[in-house]
Chains A and B, each alone.
Chain A
Amino acid sequence: GENVEQHPSTLSVQEGDSAVIKCTYSDSASNYFPWYKQELGKRPQLIIDIRSNVGEKKDQRIAVTLNKTAKHFSLHITETQPEDSAVYFCAASPSYDKVIFGPGTSLSVIP
């Protein structure tokens, strides 16, 4: 089955710097890759997603890139702010009815 790995597990950045989180997946059938943000004690919220027919997608300070050949995808957050502090999960969907999550990255943005 699909296996999603995520690095780093924890990340601290200074406010205003960029943060990059990288994920790999194993199932070449995966064609949908969402990213979720989970603040402490709250539910996961979708922040951006990308499909396999697209190499890059951007939404304001957040961008995601996908390398389908290498089975890599990454989340880039620019101009980080303290409110970006949260756990970020990448995920891969090998079929319409299945989404497998990575282990998560705890991001801390230091003011």
Chain B
Amino acid sequence: GAVVSQHPSRVICKSGTSVKIECRSLDFQATTMFWYRQFPKKSLMLMATSNEGSKATYEQGVEKDKFLINHASLTLSTLTVTSAHPEDSSFYICSARTGGSETQYFGPGTRLLVL
């Protein structure tokens, strides 16, 4: 149980385009989802926290207009990187958690390359 999927697993796009990444909890209801960015051989940097039906809470330094997060249902959250630039290239990974539990279950991640 507690499986989280992400789609796509990798994406290459041109500079200036937008990319949407989906995070799904497959066998549980995720009241909270987290979005992280991970640079090569680096830690997980929390970008934002989203609760189902509410606006996401962004960490300091993360542009909410650039990284649009939607958590419209208890099993799906999306991260849209708008007007992507090469510096947005990174590994984006989501995690999900049920209400009342602090354990986060991570997705497999999405590798984004912006040319």
Contacts and interface: CB of A to CB of B under 8 A. Distances in A.
Interface of A: 1, 32, 34, 36, 42-46, 49, 89, 93, 96-104, 106
21 contacts: A32-B102, A34-B103, A34-B104, A43-B4, A43-B107, A44-B106, A49-B102, A49-B103, A89-B43, A93-B102, A97-B32, A97-B49, A98-B46, A98-B49, A99-B46, A99-B104, A100-B46, A101-B43, A101-B44, A101-B45, A104-B41
A90 to B, nearest CB: 10
Given A103-B42, A104-B42, A96 B109 contact: no
**Residues of A contacting B: mostly:** strand
In the complex, the 3 A-B pairs of residues with the closest C-beta atoms, listed nearest first: A43-B106, A101-B44, A103-B43
A43 B93 contact: yes
**Residues of B contacting A: mostly:** strand
Interface size class of B (residues with CB under 8 A): 20 to 34
Interface string B73-110: 00000000000000000000101000000111111110
A44 to B, nearest CB: 5
Contacts of B103: 34, 46, 49
Contacts, number: 49
> Quick one: which of B34, B93, B106 has the most chain A CB within 10 A?
B106
Nearest to B6: A43
A43 B107 CA distance: 6
Given A34-B104, A43-B4, A99-B46, 10 more contacts: A32-B102, A43-B108, A46-B104, A49-B102, A89-B43, A96-B102, A97-B57, A98-B46, A101-B44, A103-B42
